[in-house]
Amino acid sequence: MGQASINVTPPHVPADKVSGPWRDAWKAFRKNKTAMLGLCIIVFFVLIALLAPLIAPYGFKEQELVNRLKAPSAGHWFGTDDLGRDMFTRIMYGARISLWVGFFAVIGSIIAGTFLGILAGFYGKWMDMLISRLFDILLAFPSILLAIAIVAILGPSLQNALYAIAIVNIPTYGRLVRAKVLSLKSEEYITAARAIGMTNTRILLTHILPNSLTPIIVQGTLGIATAIIEAAALGFLGLGAQPPDPEWGKMLSDSRQFIQKAPWTVVFPGLSIMLTVLGFNLMGDGLRDVLDPRMKN
């Protein structure tokens, strides 16, 4: 008498029901309303920056002296500045500069800080002492003052401001990665990897670095907001973007003498900085809640 066959084929699971660490993190992130608000703000400014050449009603260098310091109207939604340039156009192009500096300054800081942090945490001894003292020296100066000093040495320009912002933020990511590596290298799977003859380079690339990404992602998102503020501060002091580039901090600096006569020249660049920084802070807090195990119940 034959036995009945048993169907062992696993049931079909819909694609949206498949579980995974990043998919679960995205699901949890979407439930955080403030984090989604931050993401929407960031997407809005990114789209404005990308589409500025297509939707800007004027050129950001275009001057109409007869229309200088005009109040917001149908022809100039955000009014005009002291040279008759359209503020709405310059705000859109300014988003390009601020986001570009924020993203690439943080990327540079993450690359250098992660490299130094891994070396210090994994190899220890004299290398850890040397790199840690370097971080301590950089952290001994207020970040904006150190950035001003670096730009003063290199010369005022947007590119040098980017370098300065990246340099002053290296210790933030370096110390974060160092602490993570110190906790990871004592784990049992690292000991097992050493026991089977895995090289240090392979251990770093396949085990240490991937498991250090979570705090880097969270801090990097929050760091973009800090970099945008620092770029605006350098621009306000005349050490960042140079005329006629429409950087938000530089726009604030150029308009501060007209704050009573033409307040819109100050309000709109200030609001743009505030909203962009708020967006990254909200999204960073949401990512921390989702990715940091200590924040989970």
What architecture is domain 91-295? Orthogonal Bundle (1.10)
Please give the pLDDT value at position 192: 86
Please give the pLDDT value at position 259: 87
Domain ranges of the chain: 91-295
* End-to-end CA gap in the chain: 55
Q: pTM (2 decimals)?
A: 0.84
Please give the pLDDT value at position 85: 92
- Please count the other Cβ atoms lying within 10 Å of the Cβ belonging to residue 18: 8
User: Model confidence over 99-110: pLDDT tens digits?
Assistant: 999 999 999 999
Positions of the chain with pLDDT lower than 50, given as ranges = 1-2, 4-6, 8-9
Please give the pLDDT value at position 14: 54
Beta bridge partners of 80: 86
Please give the pLDDT value at position 46: 94
Return the half-sphere exposure (C-beta side, CA atoms, 13 A cut-off) of residue 224. 26
